[in-house]
């Protein structure tokens, strides 16, 4: 079994091991280990996911139509994405290749609502405190409550954007979190005209606030050199795009680019994903390391999510978001932007696209139609659903037996695809901010900022009123602890 890209192991006497434990929760608990060489330089960063989930195993033996509602419990922030990815696979298992227009548009509306609320949460609730107060500012204030106090207009717009996305989810699935909605081959209820009209009432504000969020991110990113340089490294990018290369969240072909923007492949049928993707297992983490097979595990790792999507696509189908994409591209001189913090700028461009798309769908007569379920065909034994979740490309793959019972499942979630990239980001940030002697508050804060650019699930407790417990230990080459820094549950640092 491979143990990572470095030959250095924690037991190597020439290295020192620094453990940051826990960095935050990953549906439980995450941990960072920094491996130093004898010159006290960062040689490798390991971001450990130590919580075992086991969904792929315990859905085995369950009936296939149950799966979307089982696997959506993977997450409390993006359950809709898991439900929809599973539903696309379940459609295939039920022998359905084409949904009714209403069902397709309801799923798209649901997905836009999901991405809007998740992106709003990601930026406003979890990231904006870092950006507005500074990475190293007082953690007691560096949270959404602090933003509400200091920048109430920005915070309230974020809260309302998220609320609006959640209302869409509630309208279609019956609940804001963990509802139902999808059926094999369709949806279980129409959107009422009452809900449609209520959602249209607020859409102009949603468009305005989404646009404001893009401007805010552009301003922050371009005005602060530290942002542009923060955890910046070239990488490959992977996502779905539409047939014409447009930004696409629900259904499309896989596109991957090299760091210079050249295609690795384009419009690849995701049902054949096993031909292009491999997953490497490393002994120190429950999270796998996917890579593009043709490039090998050293060069084949890639990034997914908003930065990948906006870097990868040729256009965005809605005008305001397309205008912002062009500004983003111009900033990068029409090449992929590799700055990790540009994730947030791209994220808000996508939020604006969601708002515009929601408006279009709410004006579409099909959206309140009542033809919800397509006729089922012959049952199939394999279904693969791929979708662009807020954090990136999400793969759901199921096999069933003749009785409709799941026999095998493989899920490649977005954060898994970003696994190597997160490790790389942490390594670069640690290398820059570690003084070679001790763990400082500034280093901790910067590591958290790097992780948070990819996934708020990894740092959801960080801004919980600034009370994330955090412990860092510095262990020398002999294995002795020489320094420890703890951030306790009140946000206070204790040596």
Residues that bind other proteins (CB under 8 A): 61-63, 65-66, 69-70, 73, 94, 173-175, 178-184, 188-189, 376, 403-405
Q: Taking the complex as a whole, how short is the minimal distance between the CB of residue 389 and other proteins, in angstroms?
A: 19
| Distance in angstroms (rounded) separating the CA atoms of residues 381 and 460 | 38
Choice between 4 and 185, CB closer to other proteins: 185
| Distance in angstroms (rounded) separating the CA atoms of residues 397 and 381 | 11
Q: Taking the complex as a whole, how short is the minimal distance between the CB of residue 167 and other proteins, in angstroms?
A: 15
| Distance in angstroms (rounded) separating the CA atoms of residues 460 and 215 | 25
Choice between 355 and 374, CB closer to other proteins: 374
| Distance in angstroms (rounded) separating the CA atoms of residues 125 and 123 | 6
Q: Taking the complex as a whole, how short is the minimal distance between the CB of residue 50 and other proteins, in angstroms?
A: 23
Choice between 180 and 205, CB closer to other proteins: 180
Q: Taking the complex as a whole, how short is the minimal distance between the CB of residue 45 and other proteins, in angstroms?
A: 36
Helix, strand or coil for residue 354? helix
SS3 track for 18-47: EEEEEEECCCCCEEEEEEECCCCCEEEEEE
Choice between 22 and 181, CB closer to other proteins: 181
Q: Taking the complex as a whole, how short is the minimal distance between the CB of residue 106 and other proteins, in angstroms?
A: 12
Alpha helices by DSSP H, 313-418: 319-331, 342-362, 414-417
Pair of tokens at residue 170: 């509630």
Choice between 94 and 308, CB closer to other proteins: 94
Choice between 181 and 466, CB closer to other proteins: 181
Choice between 82 and 122, CB closer to other proteins: 82
| Distance in angstroms (rounded) separating the CA atoms of residues 409 and 77 | 22
Choice between 334 and 378, CB closer to other proteins: 378
Q: Taking the complex as a whole, how short is the minimal distance between the CB of residue 29 and other proteins, in angstroms?
A: 22
Alpha helices by DSSP H, 72-121: 79-93, 101-120
Q: Taking the complex as a whole, how short is the minimal distance between the CB of residue 95 and other proteins, in angstroms?
A: 11
CA 390 to chain centroid, in Å, comes to 5
Q: The dihedral of CA 452, 258, 387, 405: what is its sign?
A: negative
| Distance in angstroms (rounded) separating the CA atoms of residues 262 and 252 | 19
Q: What angle do CA 220, 463, 205 make, to 5 degrees?
A: 55
Q: Taking the complex as a whole, how short is the minimal distance between the CB of residue 162 and other proteins, in angstroms?
A: 21
Q: Taking the complex as a whole, how short is the minimal distance between the CB of residue 258 and other proteins, in angstroms?
A: 41
The separation between the first and the last C-alpha atoms of the chain, rounded to the nearest angstrom, is 38
Q: Taking a C-beta distance cutoff of 8 angstroms, is the pair 472, 408 a contact?
A: no
Q: Taking a C-beta distance cutoff of 8 angstroms, is the pair 327, 206 a contact?
A: no
Choice between 58 and 263, CB closer to other proteins: 58
| Distance in angstroms (rounded) separating the CA atoms of residues 109 and 452 | 27
């Amino acid at each position: 079994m491979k143990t990572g890209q470095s030959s250095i192991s924690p037991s190597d006497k020439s290295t020192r091991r620094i453990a940051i434990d826990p960095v935050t929760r990953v549906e439980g608990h995450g941990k960072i280990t920094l491996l130093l060489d004898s010159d006290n330089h960062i040689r490798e960063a390991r971001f450990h996911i130590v919580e075992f989930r086991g969904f792929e195993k315990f859905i085995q033996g369950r009936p296939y139509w149950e799966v979307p509602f089982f696997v959506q419990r993977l997450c409390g922030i993006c359950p809709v994405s898991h439900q929809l990815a599973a539903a696309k696979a379940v459609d295939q298992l039920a022998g359905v290749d084409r949904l009714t227009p209403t069902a397709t548009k309801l799923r798209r509306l649901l997905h836009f609502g999901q991405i809007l609320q998740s992106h709003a949460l990601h930026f406003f609730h979890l990231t904006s405190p870092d950006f507005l107060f500074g990475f190293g500012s007082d953690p007691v204030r560096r949270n959404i409550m602090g933003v509400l106090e200091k920048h109430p207009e920005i915070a309230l717009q974020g809260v309302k954007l998220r609320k609006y996305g959640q209302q869409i989810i509630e309208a279609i699935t019956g609940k804001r979190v963990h509802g139902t909605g999808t059926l094999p081959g369709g949806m279980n209820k129409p959107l009422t005209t009452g809900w449609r009209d209520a959602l249209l009432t607020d859409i102009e504000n949603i468009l305005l606030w989404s646009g404001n969020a893009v401007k805010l991110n552009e301003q922050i990113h371009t005005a602060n050199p530290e942002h542009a340089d923060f955890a910046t490294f070239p990488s490959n990018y992977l996502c779905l795009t539409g047939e014409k290369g447009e930004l696409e969240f629900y259904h499309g072909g896989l596109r991957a680019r090299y760091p210079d923007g050249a295609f690795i492949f384009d419009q690849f049928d995701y049902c054949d994903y096993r031909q292009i993707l491999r997953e490497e297992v490393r002994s120190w983490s429950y999270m796998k390391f996917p890579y593009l097979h043709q490039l090998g595990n050293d060069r084949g790792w890639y990034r997914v999510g908003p930065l990948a999507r906006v870097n990868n696509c040729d256009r965005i189908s809605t005008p305001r978001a397309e205008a912002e994409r062009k500004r983003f591209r111009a900033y990068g001189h029409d090449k992929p932007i590799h700055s990790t913090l540009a994730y947030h700028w791209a994220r808000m461009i996508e939020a604006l696209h969601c708002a515009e798309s929601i408006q279009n769908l709410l004006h579409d007569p099909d959206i309140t139609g009542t033809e919800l379920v397509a006729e089922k065909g012959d049952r199939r034994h394999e279904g693969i659903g791929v979708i662009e979740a807020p954090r990136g490309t999400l793969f759901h793959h199921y096999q069933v037996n003749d009785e409709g019972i799941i026999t095998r499942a493989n899920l490649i979630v977005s954060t898994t695809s970003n696994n190597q990239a997160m490790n790389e980001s942490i390594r670069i940030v640690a290398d820059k901010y570690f003084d070679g002697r001790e763990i400082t508050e500034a280093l901790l804060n910067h590591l958290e900022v790097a992780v948070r650019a990819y996934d708020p699930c990894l740092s959801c407790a960080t801004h919980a009123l600034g009370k994330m417990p955090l412990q860092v230990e510095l262990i020398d080459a002999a294995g002795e602890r020489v320094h420890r820094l703890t951030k306790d549950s009140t946000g206070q640092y204790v040596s």
